[in-house]
Chains A and B, each alone.
Chain A
Amino acid sequence: SLFAPAKDEL
């Protein structure tokens, strides 16, 4: 989906 957490970001 379009809205998702970007958990690879710091």
Chain B
Amino acid sequence: MNLFRLFGDLSHLASIIILLQKIRSTRSCRGISFKTQALYATVFITRYLDLFYDWVSLYNFTMKVFFIASSCYILYLMRYKYRPTHDPSIDTFRVEYLLGPSAVLALLFHYRFTVPEVFWSFSIFLEAVAILPQLFMLQRTGEAETITTHYLAALGAYRALYIPNWIYRYFTEDMVDPIAVTAGIVQTALYLDFFYVYFTKVLQGQKFELPA
């Protein structure tokens, strides 16, 4: 464990708490893509299949349980408790375009050809693009509540911090995970546009609005 990864994970944790706070405080899941949240639940469930037979550490175990539980809880909130506040007509990204290629890539690139390992690869590729329905929705509506942008910024920071973590591990442990690194770089790149608007507008006290 190094500080980049620790702060990355804490940023991931913070993003989920911010999202729950957004839903609770506005009593609404307006502006949040159900599709992206469903993809994250899929990512965590398919990645953490090793939860019950591969012990890494208490930290690792606790985080995995938290990510699975919180992603399922968010789906419950969106699907049942705050269902009327979700507008499916603006959440229209075709998730087949993400699920299909991720499955193909997982069949081509994996560390061992076993069910959990192929699912693990699938989850890595899917996580890289799971934010796209959310960013697509943002692009469509052209604006976002400030708290929603904080959620996205914390999620993007988590991904960005994993990059120095990998560089650090390369020098200290002489180790590179090519699947995680490639997918991670793609995933971080997807946030660049968002970060630009976040830094130039939201952090200057303005509303998140995209140029028409």
Interface residues of A (CB under 8 A from B): 2-10
A-B pairs, 5 with minimum CB distance: A6-B177, A5-B111, A8-B56, A5-B177, A10-B63
Specify the main secondary structure of chain A where it touches its partner: loop
Give the docked Cα–Cα distance between A6 and B111 (Å): 11
B64 contacts the other chain (Cβ, under 8 Å)? Answer: yes
Interface residues on B, range: 20 to 34
Taking CB as reference atom, which chain B residue is nearest A10? B63
Give the docked Cα–Cα distance between A3 and B60 (Å): 22
Give the docked Cα–Cα distance between A2 and B63 (Å): 27
Give the docked Cα–Cα distance between A8 and B55 (Å): 9
A2 B5 Cβ-Cβ under 8 A:
no
Give the docked Cα–Cα distance between A6 and B172 (Å): 14
B143 contacts the other chain (Cβ, under 8 Å)? Answer: no
A10 B60 Cβ-Cβ under 8 A:
yes
B178 contacts the other chain (Cβ, under 8 Å)? Answer: yes
